[in-house]
A = this chain, B = another copy of it.
Amino acid sequence: MSVPDAVLIGMRETNDLFCAKAIRSRDMNALDRVYTPDAHILPPGADMIQGIADIKSFWLNAITGLDVKDASLATVSAESAGDTVVEIGRAELTLAGGQIVPVKYVVHWKRHGEAWKWHTDIWNMNQ
């Protein structure tokens, strides 16, 4: 089922916040607004991680370790699933040297308080 426009706008706000605050400003506290408290992430090259505290640690290490300077996220498809949304998307990470890393992802979105947040987040690379 298609996702209502108001929900897509809420999802866009969360994605923009991730790129602007977590990636560009390296403000890991912004992730409280991006992930549900008990979210799972499934990163390539590491085991799955549950809970916002450990997710913040992962991203701080990943962003500083790879020296990620910017990110963009684009929805490929979004489907309503009950009161949640399943999204397939593409991301691009820009590293310090200007290298672009293409990423594809699936996010299971949940409404949490006033915001739409990532409850399950898994991604991988094309190469």
> Is A56 engaged at the interface, CB distance under 8 Å to the other chain?
no
In the complex, what residue of chain B is closest to A90 when comparing beta carbons?
B48
Count A interface residues, CB 8 Å: 30
A126 to B122: give the CA distance in the assembly, Å. Answer: 12
In the complex, what residue of chain B is closest to A1 when comparing beta carbons?
B82
Contact between A124 and B88, CB atoms less than 8 A apart:
no
Contact between A86 and B88, CB atoms less than 8 A apart:
no
Provide the residues of chain B in CB contact with A108, threshold 8 Å: 79, 81, 86, 106, 108
In the complex, what residue of chain B is closest to A84 when comparing beta carbons?
B81
Give me the interface of A with B, judged by CB distance under 8 Å: 1, 40, 42-48, 76-77, 79-84, 86, 88, 104-106, 108, 120, 122-127
